[in-house]
């Protein structure tokens, strides 16, 4: 039987760091208020003219270097983003050109903060079945471009960044299973309702969020999805070596740690200095844990995301 396995990870964060103390000078808020409610102290913000594809390319290059693969080996790019470079072509195709990849397919996935989980699940199936041999899966966002920086309810939460993994075929189990869900009836609790029509912006072009509703949905859906993944593989929470949840809010992460049954010392947290980077948050956190040596061969890793749609999902993998 053929499987797909992650053989390299990479990430990129823009140079500019915006701290809570800087935001104090711009809007009515405080470092203590932000940190106590979210666990966030700072976030990275893309430079003017720095595009999602630029971040994605740097993360992909880091993952390719870690995996020891070259552009001519890559035959699939799946990129998750909410902030594409343009309406079309896809940002994945732009990344394909910038990387010098000339084989296979490239396309975007839009599932907001769950985007990387969706993208990884799709790439896994395409590699495991033999249709593609080497895939780059990327989560990349310039979320600062869709924030109202006068709205203290949202602008303090998000940041920019990109994370990537390289997938290759393997005769040993890598990705064990993926579990994807959505509930479109909840589309109104987290959204950017603006659109372009006739060359003009129509509607509100910035993030809108019902924070309390998002919290409730995130905790309930991810806890249930974790159980679903473990039961599917006949495993228990005690078997999970590392839990890598979406990096949205430390209160959500801590609550999930308790509900899922994974101790906090085995939960990977990066949002303190990165904020919520949407589709980039899970691969950024995974790369951090791989590069600092926490994630070791043979260990069981659970990845989870939840985002607008509402969407949510789990990927369970053996490192």
Residues 160 and 218 in one domain: no
* Residue that is last in its domain, among 155, 172, 189: 172
Indicate if 146 and 9 belong to the same structural domain. Answer: yes
Q: Which pLDDT does position 231 carry in this prediction?
A: 98
Residues in the chain with pLDDT values less than 70: none
Same domain, 280 and 153: no
To the query of whether residue 113 is one of the catalytic residues in this protein, the response is yes
Q: Residues 156, 183: one domain? A: no
List, for residues 41-85, the tens digit of each pLDDT value: 999 999 999 999 999 999 999 999 999 999 999 999 999 999 999
Count structural domains, the chain: 2
In this structure, are 14 and 153 located in the same domain? yes
Q: Please tell me whether residues 160 and 100 are part of one structural domain.
A: yes
| Angle, CA of 164, 161 and 80, to the nearest 5° | 50
Which of 44, 93, 113, 155 is flagged as catalytic? 113
Give yes or no: 246 in active site. yes
Residues 11 and 49 in one domain: yes
CA atoms lying within 13 Å on the CB side of residue 102 = 2
Domain check: are 163 and 185 in the same one? no
CB atoms within 10 A of CB 54: 20
Same domain, 87 and 166: yes
To the query of whether residue 276 is one of the catalytic residues in this protein, the response is yes
Catalytic residue among 20, 132, 134, 276: 276
Claim to verify: residue 245 and residue 279 sit in the same structural domain: yes
Domain-terminating residue out of 147, 172, 197: 172
Distance between CA 189 and CA 85 in Å, rounded?
Answer: 25
Q: Domain containing 105 — which CATH number? A: 3.40.47.10
Can you give the pLDDT at residue 1?
Answer: 79
Give the residue from 142, 157, 172 where a domain finishes.
172
- Tens of pLDDT, residue by residue over 244-293, are 999 999 999 999 999 999 999 999 999 999 999 999 999 999 999 999 99
Q: How far is CA 280 from the centre of its chain?
A: 3
CB 160 within 8 A of CB 277: yes
What is residue 224's predicted lDDT score, i.e. its pLDDT? 98
User: Do both 128 and 27 map to the same domain?
Assistant: yes
Which residue in 132, 110, 128 sits closest to 178, CA to CA? 128
Q: Which domain holds residue 263?
A: 176-318
Question: Torsion angle, CA of 122/118/245/86, rounded to 10 degrees?
Answer: 120
Active-site annotation holder among 44, 134, 246, 249: 246
Domain identity same for 105 and 78 = yes
Strand 134-141: give its sheet, edge to edge. 3-12, 161-170, 134-141, 76-80, 105-109
């Amino acid at each position: 039987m053929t499987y797909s396995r992650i053989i390299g990870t990479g990430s990129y964060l823009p140079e500019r760091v915006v701290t809570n103390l800087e935001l104090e000078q711009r809007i009515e808020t405080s470092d203590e208020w932000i940190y106590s409610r979210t666990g966030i102290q700072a976030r990275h913000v893309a430079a003017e003219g720095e595009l999602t594809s630029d971040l994605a390319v740097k993360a992909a290059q880091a993952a390719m270097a870690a995996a020891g693969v070259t552009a001519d080996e890559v035959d699939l790019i799946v990129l998750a983003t909410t902030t594409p470079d343009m309406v079309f072509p896809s940002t994945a195709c732009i990344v394909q050109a910038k990387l010098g990849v000339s084989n296979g397919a490239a396309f975007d996935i839009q599932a907001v903060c769950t985007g990387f989980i969706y993208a990884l699940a799709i790439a896994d199936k395409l590699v495991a079945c033999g249709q593609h041999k080497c895939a780059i899966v990327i989560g990349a966002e310039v979320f600062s471009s869709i924030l109202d920086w006068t709205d203290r309810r949202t602008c303090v939460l998000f940041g920019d960044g990109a994370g990537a993994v390289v997938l290759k075929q393997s005769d040993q189990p890598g990705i064990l299973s993926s579990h994807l869900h959505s509930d479109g009836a909840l589309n109104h609790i987290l959204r950017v309702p603006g659109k372009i029509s006739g060359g003009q912006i129509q509607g509100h072009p910035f993030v809108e969020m019902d924070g309390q509703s998002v919290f409730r949905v995130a905790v309930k859906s991810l806890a249930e999805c974790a159980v679903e993944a473990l039961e599917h593989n006949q495993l228990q929470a005690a078997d999970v070596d590392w839990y890598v949840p979406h990096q949205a809010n430390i209160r959500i992460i801590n609550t999930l740690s308790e509900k899922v049954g994974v101790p906090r010392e085995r939960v990977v947290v990066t949002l303190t200095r990165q904020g919520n980077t949407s589709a980039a948050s899970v691969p950024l956190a995974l790369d951090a844990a791989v590069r600092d040596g926490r994630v070791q061969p043979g260990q069981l890793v659970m990845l989870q995301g939840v985002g607008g749609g509402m969407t949510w999902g789990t990927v369970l993998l053996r490192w």
